[in-house]
């Protein structure tokens, strides 16, 4: 796997918190940030797929959305 070195700028308090969270997970800051970015890329891919699916099959109903929130644990029945 190929890696690219980046330089980023963040608020110092945010940087300190990120370092703490990475350390708590036993990861380097680079690995921790890379995982967050990978998660964001996957979420965006899923969002695009869902938009395309709805364009083809119709929008989700409010009941379908509510059931999804329940199944994902964001809402109780």
Q: What is the per-residue pLDDT across 34-74, written as a single tens digit (0 to 9) for each?
A: 999 999 999 999 999 999 999 999 999 999 999 999 999 99
What is d(CA 58, CA 43) in angstroms, rounded to the nearest whole number?
21
Domain count along the chain? 1
Full domain range(s) for residue 75: 40-77
Within-domain flag for 72: yes
Tell me whether residue 67 is exposed, middle or buried, using C-beta atoms within 10 angstroms of its C-beta: 0 to 12, 13 to 18, 19 or more.
Answer: middle
Within-domain flag for 48: yes
The residue among 25, 6, 22 whose CA lies nearest residue 14 is 22
pLDDT for residue 4: 94
pLDDT for residue 46: 95
Within-domain flag for 23: no
pLDDT for residue 1: 84
pTM of the model: 0.75
Within-domain flag for 22: no
pLDDT at 77 over 90: no
What is d(CA 36, CA 10) in angstroms, rounded to the nearest whole number?
15
What is d(CA 46, CA 70) in angstroms, rounded to the nearest whole number?
19
Within-domain flag for 6: no
């Amino acid at each position: 796997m190929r890696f690219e070195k980046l330089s980023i700028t963040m608020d110092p308090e945010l940087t300190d918190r990120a370092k703490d969270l990475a350390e708590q997970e036993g990861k380097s800051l680079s690995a921790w940030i890379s995982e967050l970015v990978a998660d964001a890329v996957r979420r965006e891919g899923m969002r695009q797929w869902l938009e395309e699916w709805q364009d083809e099959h119709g929008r989700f109903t409010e009941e379908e959305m509510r059931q999804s929130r329940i199944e994902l644990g964001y809402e109780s029945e």
